[in-house]
């Protein structure tokens, strides 16, 4: 199947319909819609080959902007104010501890160098704010815990890297 304009519009329409259906389906069974979107993407990968990294990065950045903006708009200062101290400690001390633990694990189990192990830990150690906002948005979790996690993930850097020198 060649990618003509008609085929591209049809594909986008089908993806939008599938997105709406998976969102409705996921809220009924209590799973985050992110899980279903990943499943749809894996299924589509069997039929469509796509290797344009620059376009993928552009769409990813635009989606991240929309998700973070929407998450920030829905977060109320009155909910965040009581949990700001634990959120900041989780965003700093918690991420550093997680980075070191995962880095040590990577060094000893994957036979990586210390630099590679800590870089691996820094990548995996912090939470993704976009995923936290998307997952917590429609879940039945206590408001204080939701506020804590939103504030913690929102105070971290958006690229998730703790060590600037290692990422450059």
Q: Which helix (H) or strand (E) holds 14?
A: helix 5-29
Q: Distance between alpha carbon 121 and the CA centroid of its chain, in Å? A: 16
What's this model's pTM, rounded to 2 decimal places? 0.49
> Quick one: 31 and 88 in the same domain?
no
Contact 56, 48 (CB under 8 A): no
Place of tokens 């971290």: 156
Helices 33-45, 129-136: axis angle to 10 degrees equals: 120
Series of mean pLDDT values for 10-residue runs along the chain (168 residues): 76 84 77 77 80 84 78 71 76 82 92 91 71 59 66 56 40
What is the model's pLDDT at position 49? 76
Same domain, 81 and 161: yes
Query: In total, how many domains does the chain have?
Result: 2
Final residue of a structural domain among 17, 44, 74: 74
| pLDDT tens-digit map of 73-104 | 766 777 777 777 777 777 778 778 888 999 99
Domain coverage including residue 81: 77-167
């Amino acid at each position: 199947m060649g990618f003509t304009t008609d085929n591209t519009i049809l594909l986008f329409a089908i993806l939008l319909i599938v997105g709406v259906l998976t969102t409705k389906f996921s809220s009924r069974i209590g799973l985050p819609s992110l899980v279903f979107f990943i499943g749809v993407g894996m299924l589509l990968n069997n039929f469509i080959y796509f290797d344009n990294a620059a376009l993928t990065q552009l769409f990813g950045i635009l989606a991240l902007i929309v998700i973070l903006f929407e998450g920030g708009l829905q977060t109320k200062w009155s909910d965040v104010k009581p949990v700001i101290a634990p959120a900041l400690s989780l965003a700093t001390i918690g991420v550093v501890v997680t980075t070191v633990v995962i880095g040590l694990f990577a060094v000893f189990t994957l036979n990586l160098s210390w630099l590679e192990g800590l870089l691996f830990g820094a990548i995996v150690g912090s939470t993704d704010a976009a995923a936290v906002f998307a997952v917590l948005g429609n879940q039945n979790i206590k408001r204080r815990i939701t506020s804590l996690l939103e504030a913690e993930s929102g105070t971290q850097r958006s690229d998730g890297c703790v060590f600037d020198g290692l990422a450059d």
